[in-house]
Amino acid sequence: MTQFLLFITASADSQDSFNAYQFAKHLLEADKNQLKSVFFYGDAVQVANQLRTPPSDEFDLTHAWQQLVTEFNLNLIVCSAAAQRRGILDKAEAEYHGHQQFNLATGFTIGGLAEYVTLQAECEKVVQF
């Protein structure tokens, strides 16, 4: 069995970002062990902002990823530097920078590029969207 790592750089509002979600869902439904993790980098980290509120007639990608976490125990990692640059903070980062609130959506974790490199070494295939 081939293990995949998804590396998503596409903006959270792009078709490529939706395609990445569809690809991940397909892998998980076929065999939950095929997808090791998903790493969001650059503008893709916006999907982890719990304050994203798409209009009611649009697909809620943040919620969709969260459902995959619940259903398949999927590991969603957001690049720490890219997230910080875009104002997406977990509780520890918010406190460190003197902010009272954090906005990292449930189901997402903050990680660094070193974690991405480790994951990449553990997988047979990396697919970028």
pLDDT tens readout for residues 109-118: 999 999 999 9
95 — pLDDT class (breaks 50, 70, 90): very high
CB 16 within 8 A of CB 129: yes
Q: Is 115 strand, coil or helix?
A: helix
Residues 6+ apart with CB under 8 A from 21: 61, 64, 65, 68
d(CA 129, CA 127): 7
Could you count the other beta carbons within 10 Å of the beta carbon of residue 99?
Answer: 13
Q: Where are the domains of the chain?
A: 4-128
Helix (H) or strand (E) holding 27: helix 15-30
* Predicted confidence (pLDDT) per residue in 9-58, tens digit: 999 999 999 999 999 999 999 988 899 899 999 999 999 999 999 999 99
CATH number of 4-128: 3.40.1260.10
Residues forming the active site:
79
Residues 6+ apart with CB under 8 A from 121: none
d(CA 68, CA 62): 10
Q: What is the 3-state secondary structure (H, E, C) of 84-98?
A: HHCCCCCHHHHHHCC
Quick one: which of 110, 129, 120 has its CA closest to 37? Answer: 120
120 — pLDDT class (breaks 50, 70, 90): very high
